Amino acid sequence: MKNIVRKYEFYLFIIIVTLVVFFAVFSDNFLNLENFMDILISSSFIGIMAAGMLVVLISGGIDLSVTAIATVSQYIMAITIIDYNGNLFSAFIVAGIIGILLGTFNAFLIYYLKAPALIITIATLNLFYGATIFITKGKWIYNFPEWFNQSHNLFSFTSADGIHRYSGISLPVVILILVFILTYIILKYTVLGRKIFAMGGNAEAARRAGFNMLGLTIFVYCYIGFLSGIGSVGQVLILHSVQPNAIVGRELEVIAATVLGGASLAGGAGSVFGTALGVALLAIVWNGLVIMGVSSYWHNVIIGLIIIFSVSINAYKRKKTLRGY
């Protein structure tokens, strides 16, 4: 029990439970199955990319271009399935390949230029996004094939009155769960995962130990690129449209969720469970504030305060650990 209490994720879980109770008390519409499903669906896009960001942060890097990669991936995917038809599987394949290619581009720049990943990915964020807007003129895409616009739910449920019928677990939520499981397996049970932790903990020591630093760099940035592409398709399935200017700017939400979950910007630390809690915390706050009718101007302020509070707890716990008590 003491080991559980000492973990950062325990305190994050307590914060989430407190917020759920708070919003449930002040709003009758918060604590119901329909709203819970809405929270899951709306957070799936950020959650999928947060899993990739976790791997990058653990390795000691960072990627601010994730939303631009998602934008490029979903636009090319949309044009491909509209012009050449295909199916849902091919949509994910196209977006995933584009994400991997752009992630590889980031990895080579970071490795060979020896420049900070922050600077490189800010540059590629603007490069990818600017090129997309220039080529597409910011045009939205709506005219998807009928098979793409169909509801992709595992099941549906009906309210207690037998009248209102709601969507069940949608495909983006299933993908989110599978992505978290895959990321957990990679980080927890593979040699590759242990090397990523070692790389983030001390890159120079990892290099001297004979680790393939180029290969590891390529993997982590390809992984987040792949997940950005996959997540972008999930978002289109929810919105039924591609909006080139709708995603860029949300990369800070992805980083915030990951850091909230205990990942260190210095590298070498982080967990999938913590990242899932971080995503859940942000989603619950956003949803609860909207239901309570709080002005959107206050949303970022409140989330910023929560992040400061959570990170402060994490820093305090790490100081106690270093001091040995």
89 CB-near residues (< 8 Å, 6+ apart):
none
Q: Quick one: how far is CA 92 from the chain centroid?
A: 17
Cα–Cα distance measured from residue 137 to residue 139, given in angstroms and rounded to the nearest whole number: 5
Angle at 34 between CA 256 and CA 46, to 5 degrees: 20
Amino acid symbol at 288? G
**pLDDT tens for the 325 residues of the chain, in order:** 555 555 777 888 888 899 899 888 888 888 887 888 888 888 999 999 999 999 999 998 999 999 999 999 999 999 998 888 878 888 999 999 999 999 999 999 999 998 899 999 999 999 999 999 998 888 888 888 877 777 666 666 665 555 555 556 788 899 999 999 999 999 999 999 999 999 988 888 888 888 899 999 999 999 999 999 999 998 888 888 888 888 888 888 898 899 888 888 878 888 999 999 999 999 998 888 888 888 777 777 877 787 787 677 667 766 766 665 5
Q: What residues does each domain of the chain span?
A: 32-323
Predicted local distance difference test score (pLDDT) of residue 195: 92
- Give residue 125's pLDDT: 95
pLDDT of residue 49: 94
> What local confidence, expressed as pLDDT, does residue 154 receive?
65
Q: Report CA 178 to chain centroid distance, whole Å.
A: 13
Q: Tokens standing for 171? A: 């495909």
> Would you say how long the chain is, in residues?
325
- SS3 sequence of the chain: CHHHHHCHHHHHHHHHHHHHHHHHHHCCCCCCHHHHHHHHHHHHHHHHHHHHHHHHHHCCCCCCCHHHHHHHHHHHHHHHHHHHCCCHHHHHHHHHHHHHHHHHHHHHHHHHHCCCHHHHHHHHHHHHHHHHHHHHCCCCECCCCHHHHCCCECCEEECCCCCCEEECCEHHHHHHHHHHHHHHHHHHHCHHHHHHHHHHHCHHHHHHCCCCHHHHHHHHHHHHHHHHHHHHHHHHHHHCCECCCCCCCCHHHHHHHHHHCCCCCCCCCCCHHHHHHHHHHHHHHHHHHHHCCCCHHHHHHHHHHHHHHHHHHHHHHHHHHHHCC
Q: In terms of Cα–Cα distance, which of 229, 193, 241, 271 is closest to 93?
A: 229
Q: Give the CATH number of domain 32-323; options: 3.40.50, 3.40.190, 2.40.50, 1.10.3470.
A: 1.10.3470
Q: Please compute Rg for the chain using Cα positions.
A: 20
Please tell me the predicted confidence (pLDDT) of residue 55.
95
Residues 6+ apart with CB under 8 A from 24: 30, 31
Question: Residue 70: its pLDDT value, please?
Answer: 94
